[in-house]
Amino acid sequence: GADPRGVERLWDQMYTSGLFYGRRGLFPMALSAVDNALWDIAGKYSGKPVHAMLGGEARARIPIYQTGGDIAAGKRAGVRNFKVGLPIAPETPAAETQAAIDHVLAAREALGPDGNLMTDSVSRRGTVDWAVGVAERLRPARLYWMEELLSPDDVFGYAELVQRIGGGGPGWTKVACGEHEYTEHGFEVLVRVGSAEVLQPDITWCGGLTAARRIAKLVEDAGLELVPHRGGSSWGLPIALTAPSCTMAESFAAGSPILDAMTPAIENGDCLAPTEPGFGTALTEEMVLEHRLRSG
């Protein structure tokens, strides 16, 4: 019976009452879903898009970075920033490792000298020495950041990595992580330890938009960079548009039809601020029926 418009107060109540079920993983993910739904309700009730409810000055547009897909096609569409996979680990055979490195170098060649290129190793649980070695081999690619080279639990390893390859040391690439961290409490550890230069909360995992706002303030106060995971989605874009420390919004080259229907407009490589209330999306009965799971 609570008023759904009191979103942040409700978040505090839900977190306090549920944290014994786990401060990471399924509980904050479920909390994210409820929190984001409440923000959507509040926006639709007020007739405002969510980003206009967060306070401060909101951008009208923000550059995207394209994850996956064809770089040449992305460039033709005006995209200037790209991220490619680097799916290797210490145990990866040498030939596969070399092929992955060659793929990144080829991506830089396709992109040209301008524009940002990033890699994502998706928490391959590498060691610090191994990660430094990979980064050395990729110096010619002039990477803007290298993402998730280590386990998300290795916060001290990430801090050492920042000192050895990032701005804390030689500074030839930034260290990015945080996609698998939760709430401002988890991100405060990353910030205090110095585990990253680019922090990447996922608004659908970290505790929702309420948690993401608090994380964004932590990142801004520390003078670091915020680039939310899936920041170009309808639910991630409000933070990307309003956080001063956010520089780009992630967009995927190819999504499912239902995700494409809920993705904000992109124009000449920029994600545009929606004008519709809430997150700017509406789940219709037709959409549900079209994408329902069928047995047999």
DSSP per-residue letters across 178-245: -TT--HHHHHHHHHHHT--SEE--BTTTSSHHHHHHHHHHHHHHTT-EE--BTTTSTTTHHHHHH-TT
**Is 85 in the same domain as 188?**
yes
Looking at residue 287, its pLDDT comes to 77
**Is 107 in the same domain as 232?**
yes
Looking at residue 262, its pLDDT comes to 73
Amino acid at 197: E
What dihedral do alpha carbons 79, 187, 34, 17 form, nearest 10°?
Answer: 180
Residue 33 in contact with residue 224, Cβ under 8 Å?
Answer: no
**Is 79 in the same domain as 217?**
yes
Looking at residue 12, its pLDDT comes to 97
Angle, vertex CA 151, rays to CA 108 and CA 254, nearest 5: 45
Catalytic residue among 51, 103, 185, 229: 229
**Is 22 in the same domain as 86?**
no
As for how many domains the chain has, the answer is 2
Looking at residue 254, its pLDDT comes to 64
pTM: 0.94
Looking at residue 72, its pLDDT comes to 97
Does residue 2 sit within a domain?
A: no
Q: At what angle do helices 7-18 and 26-46 cross, to 10 degrees?
A: 160
**Is 154 in the same domain as 30?**
no
Does residue 295 sit within a domain?
A: no
Does residue 110 sit within a domain?
A: yes
Looking at residue 255, its pLDDT comes to 64
**Is 35 in the same domain as 83?**
no
Which residues have CB under 8 Å from 189's CB, separation 6+? 155, 195
Q: What is the CATH number of the domain that holds 196?
A: 3.20.20.120
Which residues have CB under 8 Å from 164's CB, separation 6+? 128, 132, 170
Looking at residue 161, its pLDDT comes to 97
Q: Please give the full DSSP string across 9-37, using - where no structure is assigned.
A: HHHHHHHHHHGGG-SSTHHHHHHHHHHHH
Looking at residue 120, its pLDDT comes to 98
Looking at residue 252, its pLDDT comes to 87
**Is 87 in the same domain as 31?**
no
Q: Render each residue's pLDDT in the chain as its tens digit; 296 residues.
A: 789 899 999 999 999 999 899 999 999 999 999 999 999 999 999 999 999 999 888 999 999 999 999 999 999 999 999 999 999 999 999 999 999 999 999 999 999 999 999 999 998 788 999 999 999 999 999 999 999 999 999 999 999 999 999 987 778 999 999 999 999 999 999 999 999 999 999 999 999 999 999 999 999 999 999 999 999 999 999 999 999 999 999 998 766 677 777 789 999 999 999 999 999 987 778 877 887 777 76
Which range marks the domain in which residue 155 is found?
Answer: 57-273
**Is 96 in the same domain as 131?**
yes
**Is 144 in the same domain as 163?**
yes
Does residue 279 sit within a domain?
A: no
Does residue 281 sit within a domain?
A: no
**Is 235 in the same domain as 211?**
yes
Point out which residues pair with 225 in neighbouring strands: 198
Looking at residue 145, its pLDDT comes to 98
Residue 257 in contact with residue 288, Cβ under 8 Å?
Answer: no
Point out which residues pair with 85 in neighbouring strands: 120
Q: Catalytic site residue 103?
A: no
Does residue 285 sit within a domain?
A: no
Q: Give the strand pairing for 225-226 and 198-199.
A: parallel
